[in-house]
Structure 1
Amino acid sequence: MNLSDLLPLVSAILSAVRGRLQYGPGAILTAWFQQLAQRYAGSGAVMLPLPGKRILLVADRDLSVHILSQPPSPSAYLPGRLKIQAMELLAPHALTTAHDHDWLQWRTFHEAVLCPGSPHPDQSIHLPTILAAFSAPCHSLDDIRQRLGVTMLAVVFGVRPGSTVLQELDLMALAEDVQQLADMVNQPLRRLLLGPFQKSRRERVYSVLDEAWKASTEDTPMGSLLSRAHAANSADSGRQELLEQLPHWIFTFHGSASKLFGRTLAILLSRPELLENVRQELRTVCGSDGPCSEDQIARLIYLEACVLETGRLYPPVQLTVHRRDTEEIHEGRRVPANTDILQLFLLLQRPQKPYVEASEFQPSLWLNRMGACPFSDLFLSGARSCPGKDLILFVIKTGLAKILMGDLPTVPHGAFLSARWPLSFPDRLIRFTATPSTF
């Protein structure tokens, strides 16, 4: 890297000052990283000029896949120091920061609970709760987040409307505390300013989780991740390490799942041709009664393609950080030792070649590919793939199907009506207006 690489950063800052970047300061760094990734695509990666930091930005898709494919270990790629430092605030023993024996132990645990690679055995139990949660009109992304919070209580803890399971615990307050900490994990400046004052919140989170675990030991709510966690728990795992596996299941619903759900809905409502294709599929698969079975949800292939394509263009998990203790040369791409390695999925999932249309909304990329896309890591890949992918996709598809078969909301904001879509999704600008419609 040389001084000329800073010019795009200056240009992005000036554009923001002049009001050309509409969607927040994150767009400045994203626009800069995008130009760096394009400039250094041939070398595979570029060292960022950040004072006191050695951070390598991955600019090559094949190198990114190579990094994700290997189980974390000192002989391969470890969780990055930046990630480990961030997760200290919420769950330092979480799967995402583990390696070697600890990673294998907790990966096995999560797979036993979440059942990746096939329909989750309990999803038929969750179907009525999801449909009920999205039976009323949604008005904003925050509204969607709240509905997914209700769904989370059923999926994770077995708490459903009218049930008395774990009723002595304020699980919604727990979820809000977890989300507050998770937001700080993902926002370095906020974590720096507010992180030192979160000790009582963190203690409260694990106190409630411990009470929930103990209360469910003898009367485990069936059809919940908690019940499967009891069955999957090994006798030699420490209680604190075990409890630190649970927050990820909670904040996924309030965080990445709500973003993917809301963004997909906003895009579909903004593009009549996409919406009509989805509604035609719903009419064919579900008839006029709406979704009512697992089989129907599984057959909504085009709707799933739209969800996955939204995640390719606007990934709810924007980045991950790894490191190597030793230098590696992978197919001519050099990865230096003792360096944090930044993978920014927003850029890696929009390659210029071999698909020149990769920045356009293309559900067809996901059709006839057995659920795979050659340049997308929406749920990561390889050894680091998300074990909860199939379950969360079921939840999102079910909720979207329920909304899209009812009175359709509209999206007054026109970000997706123009030919050139924004690089960053305008979450804070999206509102839904309820309007009567005929299915």
Structure 2
Amino acid sequence: MAGHGNTGRGRNIALCCAHWSDSSTVHAWTWMKQYLLKRETMFGQGTRLDPSDHLIIVHVGKGGEKERWKMGGPLIPDLETCLESFPHTIEDLAGSIQGNIREFLDRAKIDIVVFGNRYPQSVLKALSLVSVRDWVKQHVNTPYIIIRPEAVRNVRMRFGSGPETSAESVVSPGGTFPPPRRIAIAYPTLAIGRALLQMARERVLQPSDTIDIVHVFPRDDADNPMKEVMKGTLKLMRAMTLQKAGSNEVSELDSINFGASELEGFNVNLNVILKGERKSQLSQYLETEKIELLIIGARSSNALQKTLSGGSTSSHLIDNGACPVMVIPYVAMGITEEDEGYGSPDASCPTMPLSPSYAAPTGQRSEIARQSFQVQQQAVSDVVMRLQQQLLERDRTIAELRSQLAALQEAQRTT
């Protein structure tokens, strides 16, 4: 179940950019330099990149740009000046990011890849997307971080409060890096939690970090009129996807010492419990506790699942969280659908089962796949129909209550 990990070879860390002087690259590089890359102190010569970290600058874009993409601008010096203390290699992926980056990340055994928030329109046209974030969330299987300026432009991140950070802070290596950080690891099930802790320890955590182990339990809404509706819908969704109720579900007793053995020797805040809706609770926690990096897992999902679930927790926090989010795809940890232990508060919508066509003889695959799709489509239709019926019943109840209220008000006026 565990991923391949680092295996003692050091970390391969990639920064993906189109133009070095673009403001999104400035924010991504500055955050990386301050909060991710390790440095060693050189006697009388400041600091330089620790030999255990291997920095790769991945250029995506037009092949005819030659060296122009490395040029600096008002916000940042040129690439070679900025990286003077950071030995690095450059990988030029001319053309579409969609056609190249995923294959490169797998081939180069990248441990963490960092993206800026914005890419030139020419790159995005190839993706048919408004934002590169959408494509990364759906297709990248390597642990990734997408840097939103709003998530790093604050005092505790050592960024200026103005529109951009200063060029001086981009170049100057000084200080101890990475500095002591406040990191939160949010887990939905026990199996995923263990895999997240292992991956975080191998690729991110330092002895100086303070780590919060966070789990969000659903609030006990006994008076919520939709509670029974949602419970019934959940049972139907489980039945429709042939999934069990989740043996990896977390109880409050489980959470008390969860992570203690996995992160022995670190400064860990165990048993951080939140209650309520997962997206909003984690968003609020990141802000109020001044968390500097959130580590969270994510499954691959199709458009239907995202529509039914209202979007994933990781996607919401990337777009709205108060700090950067490192997303570790389940596939990078070796997590399977069975390992996920559906039933946790993270699983807003169950994953559709894989088509049985993979196990069938070649001649039967098309027919089995077609039947499987029809079953899934019918099951979703049944869920929608049931919800519509329940909403109609509640509408009738509300209409009756309004009628009774109107009658009471009319009787009060006549007396």
Q: Classify the TM-score, shorter chain.
A: under 0.3
> Looking at CA atoms only, which structure, 1 or 2, has the larger radius of gyration?
2
Q: TM-score, normalised by structure 1?
A: 0.21
Question: More helix by proportion, 1 or 2?
Answer: 1
**Highest relative contact order (Cα 8 Å, sep 6+), 1 or 2?**
1
Q: TM-score, normalised by structure 2?
A: 0.21
Question: More strand by proportion, 1 or 2?
Answer: 2
